[in-house]
Amino acid sequence: MSILSWSAFKDMYKEGRDCNPMFLEFKGGQSYYYQFPDSLGKLKRGVYEKIVENPRWFEERVGYYETQFEFSKEKLRKLNSELGKNADLPSIFKEYWLIFSNSIFGMAIDVYFDDIVANDLLTVLKTELAKRGANNRFAEYYSILTAPNEPTTTLKEELAFLEIVSRAKDLDAAEIDRLLENHLETYAFVPCWFDNPPWSIDDLKNRLRVELTQNYMVKLQTVRNNVELQNHRTNEIMDELLFNSETRNIIGRLKKFSYIRQEGEVQIGYNNHAGLGLKNAIAGKLRISLEDLKFLTPDEIAHYLSAGESPENLVAERKKRAFMILKDGECLVYSDRAAEEALAKLSISVKPERETKTEELSAMVGNPGYAEGYARIVHGFDEVSKLNRGDILVVSGLSVEYIDAIKKAAAVIAEYGGITSHAAVMCREFQKPCLIRLKDATKILRDGEFIRVDANTGIVKR
C-alpha cells in the first residue's frame, strides 16, 4: 500500500472518529501499520451500542453497501468518459476519490461486525455441540455456518478460468488467446487491491500452464459445487442442532455479511483499476510517473494540479522514508528525517519484535483442514514471489491481492481477521486450511522452518 491509498482511511470513520490515531511507516518499499489497542476496543464497543440501539442497523448498513457497488460502477464509467485532452482533471479526481474512499468499508468499522454478531452464534453452537458430545465438530460447523450465502466474484472468476482450462486441450493457440482476453475484460481487476496492477495476458497464460499439470477437472467440479454444498450443509446443521428462528436469522446475517465484505474488497480493486486512466493522466500532467503518484495525498495531488507544478522533489524525499498519522479526519505526512523525528516522539513500535521458543501455538480456525510445509513469512505483497507451491503462507492479514498466493499455498496463517475475514472466506473458497488471530505469527515463526498446521483444532506445531 502507498501514501495515496492509505490516505483514503482518514475519512473511513464517518460514524464517529473513535478509532484513531493510525500510524503508518513507509520505508524500503514496505509499509507498516500500527493502531492503539484501546482505540480499537472503543470502536468495537461503539458499534455494539449502535446495534443495541437499532437492531436494524446491521441490515441497513449491508443494504447500503449492496446499492453502493452498482452506483460506483456506473459513476466510474461516466467519469472515464469525461477524460480527454481538455478534461478537468482536478474535478474528475475529486469525484473519483470520493468513490474510492467510500469503497474501503470492509476495513472500517464494519470489520467488527463478525465479532459482534458471531459471538451470539458462537455461544449457541458451542452449547448445542457440548450437549451432544460433539465439540470436535465446532471448527467445521462454525466455518460452514458463516460462509458467504452466494458465489463471490473471486469464486466466479476461479470457476470461469477453470472452464477455460477444461477446454484448452481441444483448442488452438488463437482460440485460447481469445478466451483469455475475454476473461481479462471481465476479471482483470480482481487482484488490484489498492495499488496492485491488474492481471495481464501473460499472467493468465502462466496460470493456464500450471492448471494443466493439475487435476483441474476435480477442482472444477469442487468449485462448481462449493456454495451449493455449503448452503446444503448449513441447512443440515441447523436442523441437526434444532436451531430456533433467532439463531437461524443470525446465521443468515453472518452469511450475507461474509459475502458483502468479500465483495467490498473486490470493489476496491475494481475502483483502482477503473481509475488507472485518470491517474495516468494526472501523473503525466504533474510530470511524474504513475508510481510516484502513490507518494502523494489526494489533497496534495489537487494542489499541484491547480498550481501547475511538479511534486518530484517531495516525492524523492518520501521515497527515502515517510511517516503518516491519520487522526480525526486529518492526514499528516512527514518525509525523510522529519519522519524519523515524528516516529521517535511517539511511544509506539510500528514493527514490534517478539521471540519465543514455544513449539505449539494456538489460533482461531478460519477454515478447517490439515497441512504441513515450510513457513513463508510475507510482510508485504512484493514478497509473495518467494512463496513456493505447497508452502505455508504466514501474513499479518489477507486481502484479495493475495489471491494467487492463497492458491499456491498449502495453508494460510494470519495474525488478524475474523470468521468473515477475507482470509477465512477465500480459504473456504479455495479449500485451504486457515488459521487466524495467531498473534505475532510473522515474528514468532521463522521463514523457512517446517511447521504443521492443524486447522481442525487450531494448532500450529513447529
Question: Which of 137-141, 243-247, 418-422 has the lowest average pLDDT?
Answer: 418-422
At 359-405, the pLDDT tens digits run: 899 999 999 999 999 999 998 787 889 999 999 999 988 888 899 99
Topology (CATH) of 360-461:
Glucose Oxidase; domain 1 (3.50.30)
101 vs 368, residue with greater confidence:
368
Q: Is 128 exposed, middle or buried (0-12, 13-18, 19+ CB in 10 A)?
A: middle
Find out whether 426 and 154 touch, Cβ atoms under 8 Å: yes
Kindly state the DSSP code that residue 452 receives in the 8-state scheme.
E
Question: Which of 64-68, 261-265, 281-285, 324-328 has the lowest average pLDDT?
Answer: 64-68
283 vs 331, residue with greater confidence:
283
Q: Could you tell me whether strands 321-327 and 392-395 are parallel, antiparallel, or unpaired per DSSP bridges?
A: unpaired
pTM of full prediction above 0.75? yes
Is residue 355's pLDDT more than 60?
no
At 167-184, the pLDDT tens digits run: 999 999 999 999 999 999
Residue keyed to cell 455449503: 230
pLDDT, average across residues 265-278? 92
* pLDDT for position 432: 95
pLDDT, average across residues 211-231? 91
160: which 3 cell numbers?
470461469
What does pLDDT average to over the chain?
Answer: 88
| 152 CA to centre of own chain | 13
* pLDDT for position 316: 93
Question: Which of 111-120, 127-136, 193-202, 449-458 has the lowest average pLDDT?
Answer: 111-120
Is residue 16's pLDDT more than 50?
no
Longest dimension (CA), the chain: 71
Q: How many Å apart are CA 405 and CA 409, to the nearest integer?
A: 6
Locate the domains of the chain by residue range. 3-110+271-344, 360-461
